[in-house]
Chains A and B, each alone.
Chain A
Amino acid sequence: MNPAFSVIMLTTSSGAGYGMLFWLGVMGAAGAMPAARWFGVVAVLIALALATAGLLASTLHLGHPERAWRAVSQWRTSWLSREGVVSLATYLPALAFAAAWGLGGPRGVATVVPGLLAALCTMLTVACQAMIYASLKPIRQWHNRFVLPNFLLLALFSGAACLAATTTFWEARSGRIVAGVGVVFCIGAAVAKIAYWRAIDRAPPVATMESATGLGTLGPVRELEAPHTEENYLLREMGYAIARKHGERLRGIALAVGFALPAILLILGLALGNPAALVLFPLAAIAALLGVYVERWLFFAQATHTITLYYGRAA
């Protein structure tokens, strides 16, 4: 599948933003966040900015961005529509959460309730994003049970890294708590990612040239002549392929930059405390975002579609 910048930005940036908002809601309710009034407002706005940047980037993918509002109408059948509905709905509790924190601090019921509601909406949005991919039967690397936990864990990990970077500027203690959570979810996300890679490498193809053409009764099928001499939309969009050796190398880069490096930076920041953490935690967040971006690029580039069977390639 073609790894379009706009779609990768959507899930990478909004995943981190929603993960950050989730932890703000949950940890705010648990009393683990700085009590400063400005902190709540600024942190929620940073999280929403990341989420909004992703959502806006995704409209670049559309042939008619001005019609994007129509996408909230088909929530009964379409995961993309559901994602649109829940992502827009998230703004209401999130903004109420920020306002209540700014006016009354993190502890009151007026802050905790919208905070937890926003946290719930963020995970529902990320789950809908995952299901857009996981519901597509022709793409075996997406249509499997590993995709949903991967999206959730990566959002929680990258969100925790972003929140740690923000929090540590207000209060060292809260920053350490979030960084600790970040380390745990970094390991969890890495395990989920490796399990996903192992699964897609071992899974059998969902269909073959023989079943795609129905000519298997005559014996093995091979392509004799393509319908057209040049590329077409199908091959550009669904036939995107990277060499296997690059795939292996990029997986290594994603693991090193996206998981090992942030884990080391977070642990170092925890050990050294402020002021070192003021540099280390933001670096960890940047590494996590870059790593998730590479990982998400691979999620597309290594996905194969059954249409390529008709062009004599494996799926």
Chain B
Amino acid sequence: MTDIPRQAPGQKKLGLVIDLDTCVGCHACAVNCKEWNTSGHYAPLTDFDAYQERPQGVWLNRVHSYEAGTGPDSRTVHFPRSCLHCEEPACVTVCPTGASYKRAEDGIVLVNTEICIGCKLCSWACPYGAREFDEDEGVMKKCTLCIDRIYNENIPEAERVPACVSTCPAHARHFGDLGDPDSAVSRLVAERGGYDLMPEMGYKPVNKYLPPRRRKSQAAAPGPAPEPSGAGGSVLRWIDRVLSR
């Protein structure tokens, strides 16, 4: 049924914590997501004109890049966007067939593609654009939190994390139980001030984002110091800058 399972306090809520301070915008998480899932639970993630002029396709994870702030203090922030496995997922309750559901045992939001009629209403109901319609298969697809990895006893235990987490070279993605206040991810969220996207929508996302760390204002700082003669090359100047922070 498309009813949301009742949540007991401390109930398991699997999700991702994404560190916007360390994400370098390499898109490796999106590529590995595509690679794993095109042969995984929702295989295939159809592509159209993959080798033509206008390639398009179904992706479950997309990396945006933004500039936040103005002037010298503005920051470039890379921003991976995928399903947030909300606690109040309207994408589930609007589904007329029961194909869209939230699992009681771990909170993962999934689509049963065997009974999905492809009405697309769930994608309209999601404020975050987490769901993408596979026009070739006629059904909706979304992030599964790699249920075919995280519970997969055929792969080494260390690899039982979502594909996006396992591949991130900057360790900007963390996976764990956000329902347990003592889990590593919950502590990380508490330490770094992790936040919800669009809280005003009331969907209560499980995934959290860690804000870019505060930096000393560049606007107030004096301009670059005049180079002392014979101060060495750029590497030495960089070391000098780091040490004098």
Residues of B within 8 A of A219 (CB): 68-70, 73-74
- Asked whether A220 and B69 contact (CB < 8 A) given A63-B117, A73-B97, A76-B1, the answer is yes
Determine whether B202 belongs to the interface, using a CB cutoff of 8 Å to chain A: yes
Q: Is the CB of A62 within 8 A of B117?
A: yes
Selected interface stretch from A111-119, A180-188, A231-239, A252-260: A231-239
Q: Is the CB of B68 within 8 A of A207?
A: no
Q: Which of B118-157 contact A (CB under 8 A)?
A: 118-121, 123-129, 132-135, 137-140
Q: Complex formed: what's the CA distance from A218 to B214 in Å?
A: 9
How many of chain B's residues touch chain A, expressed as a range? 35 or more
Instruction: Name B63's closest neighbour in chain A (CB-CB).
Output: A227
**A-side interface residues, number (CB < 8 Å):** 59
Residues of B within 8 A of A201 (CB): none
Q: Is the CB of A62 within 8 A of B127?
A: no
Q: Complex formed: what's the CA distance from A132 to B96 in Å?
A: 11
Interface string of A263-288 (1 = CB under 8 A from B): 00000000000000000000000000
Q: Is the CB of B75 within 8 A of A218?
A: yes
Chain B nearest CB from A74 CB (Å) reads 5
Q: Complex formed: what's the CA distance from A74 to B94 in Å?
A: 9
Q: Is the CB of B66 within 8 A of A214?
A: no
Q: Is the CB of B133 within 8 A of A63?
A: yes
Q: Which of B137-191 contact A (CB under 8 A)?
A: 137-140
Determine whether A177 belongs to the interface, using a CB cutoff of 8 Å to chain B: no
Looking at chain A's contact residues, the main secondary structure is mixed
A310 partner, pick from B64, B93, B124, beta carbons under 8 A: B64
Q: Is the CB of A70 within 8 A of B97?
A: yes
Chain A nearest CB from B230 CB (Å) reads 38
Determine whether B212 belongs to the interface, using a CB cutoff of 8 Å to chain A: yes
Interface string of B49-91 (1 = CB under 8 A from A): 0000011111100111111111001111101010000000010
Q: Is the CB of B94 within 8 A of A137?
A: no
Q: Complex formed: what's the CA distance from A219 to B201 in Å?
A: 21
Interface string of A211-223 (1 = CB under 8 A from B): 1111111111111
Residues of A within 8 A of B96 (CB): 70-74, 78, 80-81, 84
- Asked whether A220 and B70 contact (CB < 8 A) given A62-B117, A233-B133, the answer is yes
Q: Is the CB of A238 within 8 A of B66?
A: no
Chain B nearest CB from A176 CB (Å) reads 42
Residues of B within 8 A of A217 (CB): 211
Chain B nearest CB from A188 CB (Å) reads 29
Q: Is the CB of A206 within 8 A of B201?
A: yes
Residues of A within 8 A of B212 (CB): 215, 218
Residues of B within 8 A of A215 (CB): 20, 66, 68, 77, 79, 211-212
Residues of A within 8 A of B92 (CB): 77
Q: Is the CB of A136 within 8 A of B56?
A: no
Instruction: Name A67's closest neighbour in chain B (CB-CB).
Output: B117
Q: Complex formed: what's the CA distance from A68 to B97 in Å?
A: 8
Q: B residues within 8 Å of A by Cβ?
A: 1-3, 20, 27, 30, 54-59, 62-70, 73-77, 79, 81, 90, 92-99, 115-121, 123-129, 132-135, 137-140, 195-202, 209, 211-212
- In the complex, besides A73-B98, A228-B56, 20 extra interface pairs with C-beta distance below 8 angstroms are A61-B119, A63-B117, A63-B133, A64-B116, A64-B118, A71-B96, A71-B97, A71-B117, A77-B92, A136-B125, A138-B125, A138-B126, A213-B197, A218-B73, A218-B77, A221-B66, A222-B66, A223-B66, A224-B65, A237-B120
Q: A residues within 8 Å of B by Cβ?
A: 1, 61-65, 67-68, 70-74, 76-81, 84, 132, 135-139, 206-207, 209, 211-228, 230-234, 237-238, 305-307, 310-311
Kindly list the 3 A-B residue pairs having the minimum CB-CB distance in the complex, ordered from nearest.
A63-B118, A63-B138, A219-B69
